[in-house]
């Protein structure tokens, strides 16, 4: 498939060049951009590397990496992806065109949002449930933040710059794919990027202000320059990472195992104990995989029980059933008398 350049993407490229030119000639970040990201400093031409067959749902359905989506959000479906930065598409295998495409620099989190849309019956889930769709990541791109951070410490500005390059690349691919494949839900609106107004000295978001460090069970230290970037790397919501750091709990991650999280400027708090069970009153539960308006059951050690989830309305329906039974029994007793 060919690249498809737009005015919106051109503005993003202009911003990337301002970022690049603001760096010292011999800075580690500029050398990294020269090695890995220089292609994003100009209009992209030629072939995206995405096969034209990827516009055909029947072809996509035949690929081993094509997923039958679960009824409720299951992060395990997306943990085996080569990269969390990707362009993806929803499709029905008996359709002539794909339904919708998208892109994200954190695919698991974006898919959680799609599941929320599904529970609300909005977007492409108004008439089709999410489990009726198939899903596939069309093309993965590099996680430049993680790659750079393997050998360099980042400040907030550098992290924002790298994130902007990541977004420019994946959004350009989404524009090219959507233009060629013409998803049935595609409205022809050009994709945009959020770094277009960048000027030197700006970070773009308050979440980039606090450095996060985490230690695995072997004592190895890792860090990111923001809560947002750390949350992306650890696979959790930023609010959950911050809460875990405050309470001093360990966070169970797929990539690093159990880790202790420390956030610059965030002190741990003393949480009162619940004397009934000997656990913290505010024990943190990872709610990232939980559907809204559903009930989940946990034991006293905060282990999720294999019961449910129950829809918000299921307990009410069961209560109604019990009331009907009571009415029948009472009526039976009265008639017997």
Domain boundaries of the chain, sorted by first residue: 7-181, 206-292
d(CA 132, CA 68) in angstroms, rounded, equals 8
C-alpha distances out from residue 85 to 111, 142, 179, 296, Å = 12, 7, 20, 31
d(CA 19, CA 260) in angstroms, rounded, equals 34
Please count the CA atoms within 13 angstroms of the CA of 129 that sit on its side-chain side.
9
Q: Which of 94, 79, 98 lies closest to 138 in space, CA to CA? A: 98
pLDDT average, residue stretch 169-188: 95
Q: Tell me, what's the pLDDT at 313?
A: 54
How is residue 196 written in tokens? 């277009």
Q: Tell me, what's the pLDDT at 248?
A: 82
pLDDT at 198 > cutoff 80:
yes
Higher pLDDT: 16 or 247? It is 16
* pLDDT cut 70: percent of the chain above it: 77
Sheet with 250-253: strands ordered across:
221-224, 212-215, 257-263, 250-253
Q: Tell me, what's the pLDDT at 336?
A: 42
pLDDT average, residue stretch 72-93: 90
pLDDT average, residue stretch 210-231: 83
Higher pLDDT: 14 or 268? It is 14
Higher pLDDT: 335 or 316? It is 316
> 206-292: what fold?
Arc Repressor Mutant, subunit A (1.10.10)
Spell out the alpha helix ranges (H) of the chain: 7-21, 28-36, 57-61, 107-120, 144-149, 156-181, 227-234, 238-247, 314-336
Q: Tell me, what's the pLDDT at 185?
A: 94
Q: Tell me, what's the pLDDT at 290?
A: 62
Whole-structure pTM value: 0.69
pLDDT band of residue 200 (cuts 50, 70, 90) is confident
């Amino acid at each position: 498939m060919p690249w498809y350049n737009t005015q919106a993407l051109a503005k993003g490229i202009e911003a990337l060049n301002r970022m690049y030119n603001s760096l010292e000639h011999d800075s580690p970040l500029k050398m990294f951009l020269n090695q890995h990201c220089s292609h994003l400093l100009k209009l992209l031409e030629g072939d995206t590397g995405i096969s034209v067959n990827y516009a055909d749902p029947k072809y996509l359905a035949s690929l081993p990496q094509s997923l039958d989506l679960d009824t409720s959000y299951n992060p395990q479906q997306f943990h085996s992806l080569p990269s969390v930065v990707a362009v993806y598409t929803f499709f029905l295998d008996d359709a002539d065109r794909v339904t919708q495409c998208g892109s994200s620099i954190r695919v698991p989190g974006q898919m959680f949002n799609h599941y929320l849309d599904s529970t609300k019956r909005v977007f492409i889930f108004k008439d089709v449930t999410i489990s009726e769709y198939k899903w596939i990541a069309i093309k993965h791109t590099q996680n430049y933040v993680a790659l750079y951070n393997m050998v360099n410490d980042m400040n907030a500005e550098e992290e924002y710059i790298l994130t902007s390059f990541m977004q420019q690349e994946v959004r350009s691919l989404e524009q090219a794919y959507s233009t060629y494949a013409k998803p049935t839900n595609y409205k022809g609106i050009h994709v945009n990027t959020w770094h277009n107004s960048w000027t030197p000295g700006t970070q773009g978001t308050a979440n980039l202000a606090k450095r996060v460090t985490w230690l695995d069970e072997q004592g190895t230290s890792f860090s990111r320059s923001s809560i947002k970037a750390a949350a992306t790397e650890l696979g959790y919501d930023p609010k959950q990472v911050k809460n875990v750091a405050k309470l001093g709990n360990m966070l169970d991650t797929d990539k690093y195992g159990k880790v202790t999280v420390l956030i610059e400027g965030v002190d741990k708090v003393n949480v009162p104990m619940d004397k009934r069970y000997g656990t913290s009153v505010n024990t943190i539960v990872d709610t990232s995989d939980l559907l809204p308006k559903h009930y989940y059951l946990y034991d006293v050690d905060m282990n999720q029980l294999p019961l449910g989830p129950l829809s918000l309305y299921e307990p009410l329906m069961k209560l109604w059933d019990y009331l009907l039974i009571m009415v029948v029994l009472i009526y039976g007793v009265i008639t017997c008398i």
